[in-house]
Amino acid sequence: MNAEAARPLGELVLDRLRAQAAQYGVELVGLNWDVARFNKQRDPATSLDALLAHWVCNGRNIRMTLRPDGHVHAECDLLVDHPARPDYWMDVLTLWGLPPELRCEPSLIKKPD
């Protein structure tokens, strides 16, 4: 899979990441497919290449893996306070699944006492 062939799926994932991050007060302005750095990674189990994409947006790292079978995994640095749980930070927003069934959740870190 090359970057152009993966564009529709990649943009779907980016739209979902932007929407989820915005719910936590994080705007990912400038996050778009055209500015990604792309690489490929061989899956040793299948010998097929996954497409890896990486962005830096407003100081946040965003990584996406698009597998040949259609599964996706993406992570976006949030590094913000949790809006409903003041004792926690939200570290990374993770999105995964087989579209259209995508799941998304932040990982939490407890603040020191």
C-alpha separations of 59 from 29, 31, 50 in Å: 11, 11, 25
Note down the domain range covering 49.
Answer: 3-110
| Residue 16 in this model has a pLDDT that exceeds 90 | yes
Count how many domains the chain has.
1
Question: Do residues 19 and 26 make contact, with C-beta atoms less than 8 angstroms apart?
Answer: no
Greatest distance between any 2 Cα atoms in the chain: 49
The per-residue pLDDT for 11 is 96
What pLDDT does residue 17 have? 95
Is the pLDDT at 40 greater than 90? The verdict is yes
Q: What is the pLDDT of residues 70-107, one digit of tens each?
A: 999 999 999 999 988 999 999 999 999 999 999 999 99
Q: Among residues 81, 69, 91, 92, which one has the least CA distance to residue 17? A: 92
**What mean pLDDT do residues 25-46 have?**
91
- Measured CA to CA, the distance from residue 13 to residue 22 in angstroms comes to 14
pTM: 0.90
Phi, psi of 95 (to 5 degrees): -125, 135
